[in-house]
Structure 1
Amino acid sequence: MSESNLPKGWEIVKLGEIVTFLKGKGLSKNELAENGKSSCVLYGELYTNYGRVITKIKSRTDANSGVFSEPNDILIPASTTTSPLDIAIASAIIVDDVRLGGDINILRDKKTKKYDNVFLAYFLTEIRKKQIANLAQGSTIVHLYGYSLSNLSVYLPSFAEQKKIAKIILVASDKLDTITSNIDQLIQLKNSLMAKFFSKDEQYRQTVNSENQQLSSKSELVFLEDVAKRGSGHTPNKSFTAYYHGNIKWISLADSSKLDNRWISETKNKISQLGIKNSSAVIHPTGTVLLSRDAGIGKSAVMKEDMAVSQHFLTWTCSEKLNNWYLYYHLQFNKPLFERVAVGSTIKTIGLDYFKKYKIMLPSMSEQIQIAEILNVVDDKIDLLKNKKLLYQNLKTGIVQQLLTGKLRVKL
């Protein structure tokens, strides 16, 4: 957007015409106090704890001197050790009298009533990100000085239109925050249920299902080898193209991001029957449970169709005594354990001997199925909310871009 196609009623101003530039005052993590007298923001929290709008302050301190937030302030980090693009983020703080730590650029209103800080924070981050990044200086440590932002041009509609746009953005953000909170609560519920279902301590092996009926605590500790057939895989010689590009889905390290999502149905690479014949790779049946034993240690999934795997994975084809989904969730619960027992300097791995001796608590088949169903229902709800969140994120991104550039106008 340029002056020639500026939306009707909008104006171009230099940032230095509407704000003054201040810096926060040094505040270390050691000065934080859980029940401190003052709320505060550390510069690192602009990257980790806050988004475009700061409505709730997460840290407190007993320090009673420094620089404090005022109405309509905007905060921008003053340094980073990563990419200049990372520093180009602005946060509107709508909480007053918050102590602002060092390495924070503060954009303070000159009382011109030209801008709304929520609108401007989004405009700077979404529309002026590259320009701000180009103003940063340094290589190992990248610095952004407030004075360098003075001549940055911003496009502003009327104050009333900015307020209306900001309100729309905040409503969309609140909706996303609610969905995220619901996802987090379900994940906590799932983790709590898995802890009760899969702990070896009998006192934690009792829980209540969706119909408030107590699950049996009777179970047997057995070798996994006795109730499931262990397998693995191989990588066909990549020098022979005929071994690849077939119709057999082959799970490799390239598919690591697809794991821990229950089913795995697609793979980046496929191999041919010739590749199977001329290697140690085998085709595992639908429903086989797999686990990554080195890179991405402990990640697991259930095959949605017949598939092969590389040597980086272990597989278990369950007997009639073991439900595959019960095993999947058992492995999910024990992922931290697998990460701890892995050994190696450059690349950590779990040796086969470990799983030859691996034991699993085995309740009756009916209880295994019931446990698996309960956890699958929770995962269904999590997946539904994640898809809903993605939809809202995409809608919000598109709408915000149009609102901030005047392509979509609001009625006043």
Structure 2
Amino acid sequence: MGWQKKQIKDLLDYERPDKYIVESDRYINQGTPVLTANKSFILGYTDESSGVYKDVPAIIFDDFTTDSKFVDFPFKIKSSAIKILKEKNEGVDLRFVYEKMKSINFPTGSHKRYYISQYQDMEVVVPPLSEQKKIAEILGAVDEEIQKTDEIIAATEKLKRGMMQQLFTRGIGHTKFKKTKIGKIPEGWIITKLSKIFKLTSGKFLSRKQFVSGQFLVYGGNGVSGMHNQYLLENPTIIIGRVGEYCGAIHVTKPRSWVTDNALYIEKYLTDIEQTFLYYVLFSLNLNQYAKVGGQPSISQDVVGRVQIGLPSLTEQQKIAKILSSVDEKVSVNQKLKAKLTLLKKGLMQDLLSGKKRTI
């Protein structure tokens, strides 16, 4: 028996989530995971013992967005918009159907529930169970590698945050400390305002219509936003998101780049400073907390300039920068690995789920 056309409802049964919805959204750090089908996935944990869904594995499906997640551990649900999907019979491999669903480009223009009205009626091509299982096994193995890589990235980012906290308050090898208005710092460090270290200026407006295909990167508040055939700045510099969602975000530009007026950039240094050290300091400050709230968050040069930091010697700055850069390099290596694995998974899905390449 070869591949056959089936509707989703021929493969899956659905269950409403009412019995499994969490009662309190005051989440704790451990317990039963509370799930959503979107990117957040695990919203937190609860100690509620009743109404835990245990018939796993299962697929959770957001009825409004059609996002889905494959779940192989007991859970509770956040929203009534979630449907819980299970295989309809023994001739269906749930993981295979999940992967098939992830390959579907389903339009969700209107804010409405889709599963019963449209989604379950879609036709998909399905191989025999033995081939379903083999395809699911192959794609699942790649997913496991992606998950492991994600965990390494998350652990390394956590390590970096801890190291920044340590290095920016205790430095390297110090034994004597002094109390200051920003907390304890090594005795040899000084307290200084950022306005004493550098001069900020705003980037230059560049509309989308003015973007011309070119070799020079254009930076906005959230980093690279496009390319242009002209550049504004010759040398690399640090930029700070000035307005909107990415207000206070920190990035370092490449040489010969353009910075739009959605960001501030360091125009001039007023003292000897290691740029990479300064980048990490600014990153750790969470400048968004100083943003002016209103219709749209914004942060000014004056506000940034008033922020005070502890400043070590140039030599110690360089040592700290080297330590943190090495941690970031590990993050970068694993992000590139994840990108390769994600691309591999995409190619395998196209080949295996269509039957273009057979596994048996």
Q: Normalization by structure 1: what TM-score?
A: 0.69
Deviations, residues 359-380 of structure 1 (Å, cap 9, x unaligned): 3321111100001111111111
User: Which residue in the other structure is 1:63 paired with?
Assistant: 50
How many Å separate the matches in 1 of 2:76 and 2:305? 57
Query: What SS does the aligned partner of 1:322 have?
Result: coil
Of the candidates 30, 42, 46, which is equivalent to residue 37 of structure 2?
Answer: 46
Instruction: Tell me, yes or no, if structure 1 residue 257 matches structure 2 residue 222.
Output: yes
Q: Is the 8 A contact 2:7 2:121 kept in 1?
A: yes
Instruction: Tell me, yes or no, if structure 1 residue 300 matches structure 2 residue 300.
Output: no
Instruction: Tell me, yes or no, if structure 1 residue 187 matches structure 2 residue 157.
Output: yes
Mapping for residues 118-267 of structure 1, pairs under 5 Å: 118-127=95-104, 129-130=105-106, 139-140=110-111, 142-146=112-116, 151-198=121-168, 204-206=169-171, 218-228=188-198, 230-233=199-202, 235=204, 253=220, 256-258=221-223
Structure 1 residue 106, shift from structure 2 partner: 3.6
Aligned length: 342
Higher Rg of the two aligned structures:
1
Change in CA separation of 1:251 and 1:405 when aligned onto 2, cut-off 3 Å? closer
Instruction: Tell me, yes or no, if structure 1 residue 104 matches structure 2 residue 82.
Output: yes
Q: Is the 8 A contact 2:54 2:75 kept in 1?
A: yes
How many Å separate the matches in 2 of 1:166 and 1:110? 17
Query: What SS does the aligned partner of 1:315 have?
Result: strand
Q: Is the 8 A contact 1:13 1:156 kept in 2?
A: yes
Name the % identity.
Answer: 20
Structure 1 residue 10, shift from structure 2 partner: 1.6
Structure 1 residue 90, shift from structure 2 partner: 4.0
Query: What SS does the aligned partner of 1:391 have?
Result: helix
Query: What SS does the aligned partner of 1:176 have?
Result: helix
Deviations, residues 172-204 of structure 1 (Å, cap 9, x unaligned): 001000101111111111111112222xxxxx3
Instruction: Tell me, yes or no, if structure 1 residue 269 matches structure 2 residue 228.
Output: yes
Q: Is the 8 A contact 1:19 1:108 kept in 2?
A: yes
How many Å separate the matches in 2 of 1:17 and 1:249? 52
Of the candidates 341, 352, 364, which is equivalent to residue 290 of structure 2?
Answer: 341
Instruction: Tell me, yes or no, if structure 1 residue 364 matches structure 2 residue 313.
Output: yes
Change in CA separation of 1:143 and 1:231 when aligned onto 2, cut-off 3 Å? closer
How many Å separate the matches in 2 of 1:150 and 1:289? 50
How many Å separate the matches in 2 of 1:10 and 1:364? 69
Structure 1 residue 91, shift from structure 2 partner: 3.8
How many Å separate the matches in 1 of 2:150 and 2:273? 34
Query: What SS does the aligned partner of 2:345 have?
Result: helix
Of the candidates 254, 275, 278, which is equivalent to residue 327 of structure 1?
Answer: 278
Query: What SS does the aligned partner of 2:309 have?
Result: strand
Q: Is the 8 A contact 1:250 1:308 kept in 2?
A: yes
One-letter amino acid matched to 2:60:
L
Change in CA separation of 1:27 and 1:248 when aligned onto 2, cut-off 3 Å? closer
One-letter amino acid matched to 2:37:
L
Q: Is the 8 A contact 2:192 2:308 kept in 1?
A: yes
Change in CA separation of 1:396 and 1:25 when aligned onto 2, cut-off 3 Å? same
User: Which residue in the other structure is 2:329 paired with?
Assistant: 380
How many Å separate the matches in 1 of 2:301 and 2:40? 41
Change in CA separation of 1:223 and 1:285 when aligned onto 2, cut-off 3 Å? farther
Query: What SS does the aligned partner of 2:222 have?
Result: helix
- The CA RMSD over aligned residues, in Å, is 3.9
Change in CA separation of 1:252 and 1:301 when aligned onto 2, cut-off 3 Å? closer
Q: Is the 8 A contact 2:6 2:124 kept in 1?
A: yes
How many Å separate the matches in 1 of 2:308 and 2:120? 65
Structure 1 residue 385, shift from structure 2 partner: 0.9
Q: Normalization by structure 2: what TM-score?
A: 0.78
Between 1:219-228 and 1:299-308, the stretch displaced more is 299-308
Structure 1 residue 286, shift from structure 2 partner: 2.1
| Unaligned 5+ runs, structure 2 | 175-184
Q: Is the 8 A contact 2:58 2:86 kept in 1?
A: yes
Q: Is the 8 A contact 2:38 2:68 kept in 1?
A: no
Mapping for residues 387-402 of structure 1, pairs under 5 Å: 387-402=336-351
How many Å separate the matches in 2 of 1:363 and 1:270? 40
Structure 1 residue 163, shift from structure 2 partner: 1.0
One-letter amino acid matched to 1:157:
P
Query: What SS does the aligned partner of 2:98 have?
Result: helix
Deviations, residues 50-70 of structure 1 (Å, cap 9, x unaligned): 49xxxxx96553225x8x553
